[in-house]
Structure 1
Amino acid sequence: MIDQLLDQRYKVLQILGAGGFGRTYIAQDLKQPSKPKCVIKQLQPQGVDDPTLSDASRDNRWDMAHKFFEKEAETLEVLGNHDQIPRLLAYFEEEQEFYLVQEFIDGHPLSSELIQGQPWSETQAIALLKDILTILEFVHGKNVIHRDIKPDNIIRRKRDNKLVLVDFGAVKQVRGQMMTNSGAFGWTVSIGTEGYRPPEQAAGRPRLNSDLYALGMIAIQALTGINAFDLRLSYSDPNTDEIHWQDKVTNVSPGLIEFLTKMLRQNWRDRYESATAALQALESLTASPPENNYQPTVVPTAVATQLPVTTPPPAPVAGTEVAPAAQPTQQPTQATTASKTASKPLPLKPIGLAVAGILALALVGGGVRSLMSSSGDSNQAVSNSTVNSEVQSDNELISSGDRILIPNEGLDNQKFQELKESGVAAMAKKDYVTAYKNFNQALTIRRNAPETLIYLNNAEIGDKKSYTLAAVVPIKDGKDPGRALEMLRGFAQAQKEVNENGGINGVPLKLAIVNDYDNKEKATEVAENLVDDSNIIGVMGHHITGVTEEVAPIYQQGNLVLITPISVVDELTDGSNPYLFRMNRANIAKGADELADYMVKNWQRRKVAIFYNQELDYTREMKDAFKGELFNEGEVVGEFDISKKSFNAYTGLQTAKANGAEVILLLPSLSTLDNAWDVLRIKNQSPDEFGDLKVLGDIATLYRLDTLKKGRDTEDMVLAVAWRRDPSDTQGFSQSSGKLWGAVNWVTAMSYDSARAFIAAIEQSDNPTRESIQKALVAPNFQTNGASGIITFKNNDVIPDIQMVTVKKMPSIEASESKTGYDFVPVEGGFSSF
């Protein structure tokens, strides 16, 4: 590669670094009179030459990559307008590879100035902080997060001694995006350097002030003379994870210690909201700011430049990212909300566009309707109410008992259906005594009827004062309400338990069931109704992440907390909406890592075929994360979209085997379960052809009773799951749910936990409002008991552990917890999990 001419202009002088997907060079621009040096970053997009694709598909994939790369270059060009960020000089394509040409920075990295055991003075540290904060103020103003601030990415420029922030990661960004072979752009959840990376960034949800954490760590490393990784490893509080560094410095003012302590808070909400806020606080520390002309004591003789592209980690990584606007703890006013959402983020990546769409929706909603409905101020305390008759009469998708939303909950039993219908008719007339009697009799016939149980609980409340939560589920047209029933079981169980124990501070809990049809238009309609009804103080539910993303800004405008129980798409709770919480952020990256690790280490197998639903965000992300985790340890030999009408399970298995597959990974959605069952059925019925294939399953969809009912075909399949039923829990959720419903899965458990979180938040005030509930949930000391133990939110998420289970045949049907003859069992022993 040395001396090679790129774009008929740039002569390669030196290879700075190389990884699996790109290289970085120092080159010479031969078309400039002085033939100056420049830095060239090169990337070959992945998947554009896939031989299994048609020419049209490959052309389409290349067009997508081309457009994406152009947008990345545009962003780098804007950032390069700052004097202390390398300028983008050019970008070009050559032989289906992308190239960025950037300014060469003659200087040395800050890492050469940070010497172990040689602390800096306060003056030197403040100079560093001001210099970089000034750059970050500009960068964040463009709605970009650097995401990898560390000493090696800060260059002290030789000609003027200024600090230059480098390596904004555009090549890494595009590389991560082009990793997928599905035609869709993939993304990863975490980049950055250990020691400088804050927890929310490690979890895949970086914020603007994630960069402030990294800068604060560099300053503390400078002041203490202790390496950042050692600070993190040796001085972290085991309970809070806060780093206790303050006693490791001498001759440092209390003001600077306080400033850096805030920069380094583990919870992003406790840090400075922005680089501007941090810079203002730093300026106030001294009336005479130190000069930015610090000369390092040790200057290495070798000249350095931008950090080379290094060999990538097992998972592809992203670089620059559209940043969610930093949110204060309190709810912004309508004016401030509008001003924040009016600024459109740069289109750096598909997730950024999604965020932009959400913010745009929030702005449009704010223009069409006020933040609160005519029903009054959202701070108004909950008053005595009936059964939300105003909302029910206006919208047939919402009911607290005056209409049936799940028509086939008991169609197989005529008497049950008659009693339920009589109860609903009585509720509509506000004859709560008759309604209660009919619902109660219906439940003696069919206990596994959560809609009926909710209506029974509401009938018992009648006209008494109550707190009302909305339970939004995907009933659709009632043909297949399986997921809706799973969710309602959890909501109903929590309602029953709290009311039997005297309510919430003596006030019973009422539930309004809402059908969003798994449809964005319907969901928007019901969200607006719920916001406009002052009786509703919280919302649980929505099933599909795309629907939740669509309606979340509506709830935010109405100061109405939404807790979604079962969404597992990583970027949903990105910090931009303080009223959006997630009960089960099943860590896709961790689940993918566990599955890949199990395949390679436990099964000693390396070739896998993936059967997934291309139409669903979760399954695409799970597929891409698995591929990223597998990386050099294995190989994906085939991808099969089971959502296609043309999908044929037998042909798919044949192709997978012909390609050398040893394992199949199933990533279905609810709508494609039948095709997943076909794959397993054909595998089981053709042992000579496919019997040696091992089976891995996803972290959500397959952890259900139906999988056990198909036990003959699903036996020995291994899943990575975020919740397991504990039969040894004789007093809590598991036993209660077993008595109520007979069988329960993770969806019911997480729905139960959503209600438990609301109950605990409401309990903290004698006069609860929508805003007080949100403040209670984000409080650092918030916790309550749930299906799996203690519920605590971290950055608006509950992140469960991933556990590996397998489908095992039990000695008899009676001996199985599921009463199917099969159970989910931990792969390394332990109790049954269903």
Structure 2
Amino acid sequence: MPIGGNLDVAKEILRGVAQAQDEINRSGGINGKLLQVAIANDDNDPNLAQQVASQFVKDSRILAVVGHNASNASIAAAPTYQQGELVMISPTSFAQNLSGIGSYVFRTVPNIGSQAEQLAAYTLKTARKTNIAICADSKSIDNQSFRDELVKNITAGGGKINPTNCDLSAANFNSTVMMSQLISSGADSLVLAPYIGRINKALELAAANQGKLTLFASPTLYTFQTLKEGKGDINGMVITVPWHPTAIPNNPFSQNAAKLWGGTVNWRTATAYDATTAITKGLQQSNNREELQKVLHSPSFSVNGATGQIAFQPSGDIKGKAILVKVQPKSNSATGYDFAPL
């Protein structure tokens, strides 16, 4: 978990793990044994993630791992889990090159292609934007995948990508100067795709925008930090996400989460819950790491989770669809704003 790097995101993920743990233990555990969870901090740092993975592999008490958060960390750690034959299920890493990286590597966040496709269609057909600028983070593998998929879908749909190079990780990045360049180049909309640890850069750009360009964003910006710091600057911004509390009517997860945590939760909590639920379901049918991996890959394996039915493809991915949400004012929200489904 990125406990030192982004505590809010770490909490979002840990809530999902804890909720699944609480439910399984209240129902008698896994074949009579209580599920125990060990928490490690990797700060979303690839080197630290590799060290954590090595420690987990050596510890025979660890039967599976829920993590890591950022794709930079997951991709760095994945070979260690694969070589050590320890199941890793990332609930949040959506980079394309994590797909099929190893038979012990899974994830419960849907392929980013479906999310980029949905946002591209909305941008072109509903918002009717014709000159779309994208400000991504060149050091974020997740959002580079998102950018590539978005460009592909916008281009295929007949849209135009603004040629201005906007890199949120650039050492000399200046939001005011960048906005001036984007507007001068004819952009009529702006897609924000920051690294999870540099959300502040995207919010600075949103503030400099002053409502001139219509805002869109990758799933990374679905955070409490976005609402707390962005406020009116991001009002109306549309974000593509893999889950929303209202996505599945009558799904008990959302109601149980609200009771347990005292409010609504976001997609990272849902996908972390699903990762933990998949592991516990798999462990009910297995006795060791190797057997768990085989159970999860079995065509007959499935379990109901927060996002729907969880079943893994040969690549380790799950099938899923995107949901679009929009930042809107909300009087009873702690920030005065909330993410509302479109």
Displacement of 1:801 in angstroms is 0.2
Q: How do 1:758-773 and structure 2 match up within 5 A?
A: 758-765=279-286, 768-773=287-292
1:526-550, Cα deviation, whole Å (9 max, x unpaired): 2222222221111111123233223
Q: Helix, strand or coil: the match of 1:514?
A: coil
Q: How do 1:598-637 and structure 2 match up within 5 A?
A: 598-631=122-155, 632-637=158-163
Conserved 8 A contact 2:24-2:35: yes
The residue that corresponds to 1:25 in the other structure is none
Flag the structure with larger Rg.
1
Conserved 8 A contact 2:86-2:289: yes
Is 1:584 paired with 2:109?
A: yes
AA aligned opposite 2:300: N
Distance across 1 between alignment mates of 2:89 and 2:270: 14
Distance across 1 between alignment mates of 2:117 and 2:163: 18
Q: Helix, strand or coil: the match of 2:166?
A: strand
AA aligned opposite 1:474: P
Residues 756 and 479 (structure 1), Cα distance of their counterparts in 2 relative to 1, 3 Å cut = closer
Conserved 8 A contact 2:140-2:194: no
Displacement of 1:503 in angstroms is 0.9
Displacement of 1:772 in angstroms is 1.4
Correspondent of 1:781 among 284, 288, 300: 300
Displacement of 1:479 in angstroms is 6.4
Q: Helix, strand or coil: the match of 2:197?
A: helix
Correspondent of 1:517 among 43, 66, 71: 43
AA aligned opposite 2:104: Y
The residue that corresponds to 1:502 in the other structure is 28
1:754-799, Cα deviation, whole Å (9 max, x unpaired): 100001001124xx11111111101111111111121111121113
Q: Helix, strand or coil: the match of 2:43?
A: coil
Conserved 8 A contact 2:19-2:257: yes
1:224-247, Cα deviation, whole Å (9 max, x unpaired): xxxxxxxxxxxxxxxxxxxxxxxx
Distance across 2 between alignment mates of 1:519 and 1:707: 22
Q: Relative to total residues, which structure has the larger helix share, 1 or 2?
A: 2
Distance across 2 between alignment mates of 1:479 and 1:707: 16
Q: Helix, strand or coil: the match of 2:326?
A: strand
The residue that corresponds to 2:235 in the other structure is 715
AA aligned opposite 2:339: F
1:44-74, Cα deviation, whole Å (9 max, x unpaired): xxxxxxxxxxxxxxxxxxxxxxxxxxxxxxx
Conserved 8 A contact 1:661-1:693: yes
1:725-766, Cα deviation, whole Å (9 max, x unpaired): 12885662111221222342111111111100001001124x
1:270-316, Cα deviation, whole Å (9 max, x unpaired): xxxxxxxxxxxxxxxxxxxxxxxxxxxxxxxxxxxxxxxxxxxxxxx
Q: How do 1:380-459 and structure 2 match up within 5 A?
A: none
Conserved 8 A contact 1:680-1:714: yes
Displacement of 1:822 in angstroms is 2.5
Q: What residue ranges of structure 2 are gaps of 5+ in the alignment?
A: none
TM-score by length of 2: 0.92
AA aligned opposite 2:206: L
Distance across 2 between alignment mates of 1:669 and 1:489: 22
Q: How do 1:9-408 and structure 2 match up within 5 A?
A: none
1:66-103, Cα deviation, whole Å (9 max, x unpaired): xxxxxxxxxxxxxxxxxxxxxxxxxxxxxxxxxxxxxx
The residue that corresponds to 1:474 in the other structure is 2
Distance across 2 between alignment mates of 1:783 and 1:519: 32
Distance across 2 between alignment mates of 1:481 and 1:808: 25
1:157-203, Cα deviation, whole Å (9 max, x unpaired): xxxxxxxxxxxxxxxxxxxxxxxxxxxxxxxxxxxxxxxxxxxxxxx
Correspondent of 1:724 among 232, 240, 244: 244
Is 1:567 paired with 2:87?
A: no
| Sequence identity percentage | 36
AA aligned opposite 2:81: Y
Conserved 8 A contact 1:627-1:636: no
Residues 479 and 779 (structure 1), Cα distance of their counterparts in 2 relative to 1, 3 Å cut = closer
Residues 623 and 727 (structure 1), Cα distance of their counterparts in 2 relative to 1, 3 Å cut = closer
Residues 497 and 609 (structure 1), Cα distance of their counterparts in 2 relative to 1, 3 Å cut = same
Residues 782 and 504 (structure 1), Cα distance of their counterparts in 2 relative to 1, 3 Å cut = same
Distance across 1 between alignment mates of 2:181 and 2:247: 42
The residue that corresponds to 1:597 in the other structure is 121
Correspondent of 2:267 among 746, 771, 777: 746
Displacement of 1:562 in angstroms is 0.9
Displacement of 1:484 in angstroms is 1.8
AA aligned opposite 1:675: K
Q: Helix, strand or coil: the match of 2:96?
A: coil
Q: Helix, strand or coil: the match of 1:512?
A: coil
Displacement of 1:819 in angstroms is 4.4
Is 1:675 paired with 2:196?
A: no
1:399-450, Cα deviation, whole Å (9 max, x unpaired): xxxxxxxxxxxxxxxxxxxxxxxxxxxxxxxxxxxxxxxxxxxxxxxxxxxx
Displacement of 1:667 in angstroms is 0.8
Displacement of 1:553 in angstroms is 2.4
Residues 618 and 526 (structure 1), Cα distance of their counterparts in 2 relative to 1, 3 Å cut = closer
Q: Helix, strand or coil: the match of 1:638?
A: coil
Displacement of 1:523 in angstroms is 2.4
Distance across 2 between alignment mates of 1:520 and 1:673: 19
Correspondent of 2:225 among 685, 706, 714: 706
The residue that corresponds to 2:181 in the other structure is 655
Q: Helix, strand or coil: the match of 1:511?
A: coil
1:618-641, Cα deviation, whole Å (9 max, x unpaired): 222222222222224323242311
Q: Helix, strand or coil: the match of 1:790?
A: strand
The residue that corresponds to 1:527 in the other structure is 53
Residues 608 and 728 (structure 1), Cα distance of their counterparts in 2 relative to 1, 3 Å cut = closer
